Amino acid sequence: MSRQIDKIAISKNYYKINNHPDIAFHVDEPDHELNINDILTKILIFEDRYNEWFFEVGNRLKPDNEAGFVILMIVASCIEGLAQYGHGENSRGNSKERFIEQFRTIFSFPEDISEIMYDSMRCGLFHDSMIRKGIMISTNFGIVTPTSEDGTYIINPHLFLEDLQYYFEQYIKTLQDPANSDKREKFEKIWDEFNSIESGGQKPSDSTKEKKNG
């Protein structure tokens, strides 16, 4: 049994169809074609992905007291992603330096705290499926609160998400301004690397139907 995929969602609100790989469509404007190779289209799709697939989901999870670790995974993933777009370089083999630099840029914390967040939050969650020694989570404190217990920090997943989302909004405004040519070039370089026509940031549209071979 195979699946007939006619529409491919490249973000929540944008999609493309198989026989027109260079054209994108908005779900509310199916008759309006967008050039998928135009930088403004790339920015629109990029913004929609982060807002709808990450921030919106993270914000919906806030009322769930057990969702703090998942929210932090969203935060950590976006930090490293934004680092790559900001530098125009894949962070493969250099993720620690890139993560720490981007963490400091977004949250304005010193390097020692940023390094703890890289190891205990980012590496703990993605490699161990749990935060490591050095941090605890709670939504009843500030974004990062030191304790008297062996230098442990209490971190607030909700505030991390809020600050990250604000930073992202400012970054999008920067990309939308043609005067910021250097930042736009770096963004587009890594976008093109991650989002080839063949793969990257795609999933079958919800309207995809399953069909049998033959």
Query: What are the domain boundaries of the chain?
Result: 2-6+10-195
Q: What's the confidence (pLDDT) of residue 106?
A: 98
Q: Give the integer Cα–Cα distance in Å for 85 and 40.
A: 15
Q: What's the confidence (pLDDT) of residue 196?
A: 65
Instruction: Kindly list the distances between the CA atom of residue 33 and the CA atoms of 17, 19, 37, 80, 195, in Å, as whole numbers in the listed order.
Output: 11, 13, 12, 32, 19
Would you state the torsion angle of the CA atoms of residues 93, 11, 121, 64, taken in this order, to the nearest 10 degrees? -170
Q: What's the confidence (pLDDT) of residue 204?
A: 55
Q: What's the confidence (pLDDT) of residue 205?
A: 59
Q: pTM of the full predicted structure?
A: 0.88
Residue ranges, the chain, pLDDT below 70: 1-5, 149, 196-214
On whether the CB atoms of residues 115 and 79 are closer than 8 A, the answer is no
Q: Give the integer Cα–Cα distance in Å for 182 and 158.
A: 32
Beta strands in 70-207 (DSSP E): 135-137, 144-146, 153-155, 203-204
Q: What's the confidence (pLDDT) of residue 148?
A: 75
Query: Which pair of structure tokens corresponds to residue 72?
Result: 């932090």
For the stretch 113-118, contacts whose Cβ atoms lie closer than 8 Å and that sit 24 or more positions apart, written own/partner, are: 113/144, 113/153, 116/153, 117/155
